[in-house]
Structure 1
């Protein structure tokens, strides 16, 4: 016997200063988020207001409308499009007599389902606990009223208040534990970053809205330039398919290479707790030499998605990094592709069309510091010949009386380091 899906009513407030198109996009996305949690949307109620109602988020008349729709559709949950305050949730649950959740907890639930690695699971758990902490209110029958007795130092406190304090202390202790555990992962990540910087391998980070095609682009690039199929990352047509940061080395035919990182996708009204929790992971983008901002060009709201991504990057202090904008899924738009316009590239990652052009543009940005030169390496420094064969594009090698003559294109840093062997540039 199949388990019955949860049924939900969506509720949103269209503030007077918000564009109708933006509001419609936000409500559509709320429905997609609900579907990602396997919740069936059976109705929707919206209201235009100058500002949200402090006690209930929506007006009294709309609460009655939601209650009637809930009864008619036999819904068991009401989902609001903004983050609700603890008192709003309490008041709404009392009036609607059902579970009330907001956009934030919906996104947190999706992240909890999708998190695979220990680090991602800890990040999501910490965000969830930080969200819960101010919402530890005395919920109706679950907590006792003010009463006497019971326990050292609690003579004048009721069971409800005691439970509340115990819960709060327990959550604060768990947050402190998770923060300590995550700091170990952050330290390890920092060591890896320093090592990559020392090796001078350029880092290119894929950023953008969730489900824009970042993982599809990464897999396409791996397929084009790497032989190992096991290096492919998980991809699926769904919101937040991947939460973990994947890093893959993209080897170039001329011995150059760069690291391509795939970060967690963004979404409108991404909970502040999640942005903070994933900050260490997303710092891969902050330390990148180049950002690839992936846009779902087939989505009618793609401009809003670009704006949301830019705002989230700004919130994380990721500014001033050179950026290429990749308009993906161009095959669904009737637009000409693949094509390049300044720092904009139109591609179809699914059809693997435009990835070579993307790679060419990436190379233009990150391989500027390369020098063509001729070096004469003494025979006693033979290890340097091996080094350049592995880390430079050696076009010819011949043996002279004084040593090995290499004609090559190498990194400027290597050129400066071994300048004493340069005989021509």
Structure 2
């Protein structure tokens, strides 16, 4: 499969490359490169240099212009860097041209994300999903990475010169894709049966950008030990736990995190995992309020959710990590417009975000504002639960009456 950067004894030094187009600001480019660096570090690499070029659009042949490409070549030779990562998906021709010019390992954003998913996959389900996405991504890129596939198949006549060898590899990959799709259908059918067997309990799904604290919130809510780590895509497999808030039981699902430019093949392969989102009655959209680009992350998640499921459903916006939020107060004589960096958390709550009906600011790690959060979630779940189980309505009324006296 894709070469794993972290399998080497020493961290692989890498350079990062991005193109700034007119519709993107300088700050956004830096945020994108920060995320690419985080992805590289998650994969076990060490980013040592960043290159950015202003272009109307990426060069169709080499992504960046010839002058910038020569600058990158010179740097990599001097500093003995053997891997370069581009913050976009490269076309097969771009990939081929860049490798011919650079003579090093060339990765793009999609390739890097797939590598991380491959390392994070734990169950047979996740491994099958990732492997399928990898093969689908690599099929049009056979000339650079797959001339060794005939050894996996074995047999006489599997080594052919030139184009014959490539065609052999292409047939092998198509066979693998067909088998993986068959395997995935079987697993998906099993997963669907499992979901059906859960009955009519209200389903709540944790959604959000990767690394916003969904798994931490899951652990606190369900008193379980779902793997949580300060790295991108710490968890891939959907975890479902039964949770009870006071007198109402419901199912809570922790789903894979979204990310900007999430590879299309990956979304398709993880269809069954994302079914937890489709079948959820309530969504907990978790946001890392301490992240400088959290508003754009909200947009990415919202757009991805719309692709997954067109139906509107109750959504609670959970601004997490308030304990990590920081800002720089403006000086009294500073006449420049106030920016997001100058907003205190209290001022933030007075903006459009804090004024929404289903919106709450918390810290899952330190359980800040957790009682209020549970009440908001309880109210949302109760509304659906009482419609499904109307004969229990008197229980909820009794509970509400008791709490109103406190």
TM-score bracket, normalised by the shorter chain, equals 0.7 to 0.9
The answer (yes or no) to whether the contact 2:245–2:374 under 8 Å persists in 1 is no
- Distance change in 2, residues 1:32/1:408 (3 Å): closer
Measured in 2, the distance between the counterparts of 1:139 and 1:360 equals 53
How many residue pairs get aligned? The number is: 359
Q: CA deviation at 1:120?
A: 0.3
> After the TM superposition, which residues 261-272 of structure 1 pair with which residues of structure 2 at under 5 Å, given as runs?
261-272=253-264
Give the match's secondary structure for 1:267.
coil
Measured in 1, the distance between the counterparts of 2:124 and 2:147 equals 36
The answer (yes or no) to whether the contact 2:96–2:144 under 8 Å persists in 1 is no
Give the match's secondary structure for 1:56.
coil
* Of 362-371 and 349-358, the range deviating more from structure 2: 362-371
2:303 to 284, 288, 311: 311
The answer (yes or no) to whether the contact 1:286–1:321 under 8 Å persists in 2 is no
> After the TM superposition, which residues 186-225 of structure 1 pair with which residues of structure 2 at under 5 Å, given as runs?
186-196=188-198, 199-223=199-223
Measured in 2, the distance between the counterparts of 1:361 and 1:252 equals 11
Match of 2:167 in 1: 165
Q: CA deviation at 1:101?
A: 0.7
Give the match's secondary structure for 2:364.
coil
- Superimposed CA distance per residue, residues 192-218 of structure 1 (whole angstroms, 9 cap, x where no aligned partner): 22233xx32000000001110000111
The answer (yes or no) to whether the contact 1:8–1:42 under 8 Å persists in 2 is yes
Larger Rg: 1
Match of 1:355 in 2: 370
- Superimposed CA distance per residue, residues 327-384 of structure 1 (whole angstroms, 9 cap, x where no aligned partner): 00012225259x8752110000010123332221122122125669xxxxxxxxxxxx
Match of 1:239 in 2: 232
Instruction: Say whether residues 1:273 and 2:273 are aligned partners.
Output: no
Match of 1:3 in 2: 9
Measured in 1, the distance between the counterparts of 2:362 and 2:174 equals 47
The answer (yes or no) to whether the contact 1:10–1:81 under 8 Å persists in 2 is yes
Match of 1:335 in 2: 345
Match of 1:323 in 2: 315
* Of 131-140 and 278-287, the range deviating more from structure 2: 131-140
- Superimposed CA distance per residue, residues 75-98 of structure 1 (whole angstroms, 9 cap, x where no aligned partner): 011111100011111111111111
- Distance change in 2, residues 1:61/1:221 (3 Å): same
Give the match's secondary structure for 1:174.
helix
Match of 1:47 in 2: 53
Instruction: Say whether residues 1:38 and 2:44 are aligned partners.
Output: yes
**TM-score normalised by length of structure 1:** 0.79
* Of 262-271 and 11-20, the range deviating more from structure 2: 11-20
Unpaired runs of at least 5, structure 2 = 1-7, 150-155, 326-343, 398-406
Match of 1:380 in 2: none
- Structure of greater relative contact order (alpha carbons < 8 Å, 6+ residues apart): 2
Match of 2:135 in 1: 129
Measured in 2, the distance between the counterparts of 1:6 and 1:80 equals 16
**TM-score normalised by length of structure 2:** 0.82
Q: CA deviation at 1:308?
A: 1.0
2:279 to 267, 273, 287: 287
Unpaired runs of at least 5, structure 1 = 144-149, 224-230, 373-387, 395-406, 411-425
> After the TM superposition, which residues 6-21 of structure 1 pair with which residues of structure 2 at under 5 Å, given as runs?
6-21=12-27
The answer (yes or no) to whether the contact 1:250–1:259 under 8 Å persists in 2 is yes
Measured in 1, the distance between the counterparts of 2:318 and 2:215 equals 13
Measured in 1, the distance between the counterparts of 2:146 and 2:377 equals 58
Measured in 1, the distance between the counterparts of 2:127 and 2:242 equals 25
Q: CA deviation at 1:139?
A: 7.5
Match of 2:183 in 1: 181
Instruction: Say whether residues 1:367 and 2:360 are aligned partners.
Output: no
Measured in 1, the distance between the counterparts of 2:144 and 2:120 equals 31
Q: CA deviation at 1:251?
A: 1.8
Measured in 2, the distance between the counterparts of 1:371 and 1:270 equals 37
Match of 2:337 in 1: none
- Superimposed CA distance per residue, residues 218-270 of structure 1 (whole angstroms, 9 cap, x where no aligned partner): 111123xxxxxxx321111111110010000002332x200000000011111
1:68 to 74, 81, 104: 74
Q: CA deviation at 1:311?
A: 1.5
- Distance change in 2, residues 1:187/1:370 (3 Å): closer
- Distance change in 2, residues 1:57/1:107 (3 Å): same
- Distance change in 2, residues 1:65/1:170 (3 Å): same
Give the match's secondary structure for 2:317.
strand
Measured in 1, the distance between the counterparts of 2:242 and 2:39 equals 33
Give the match's secondary structure for 1:368.
helix
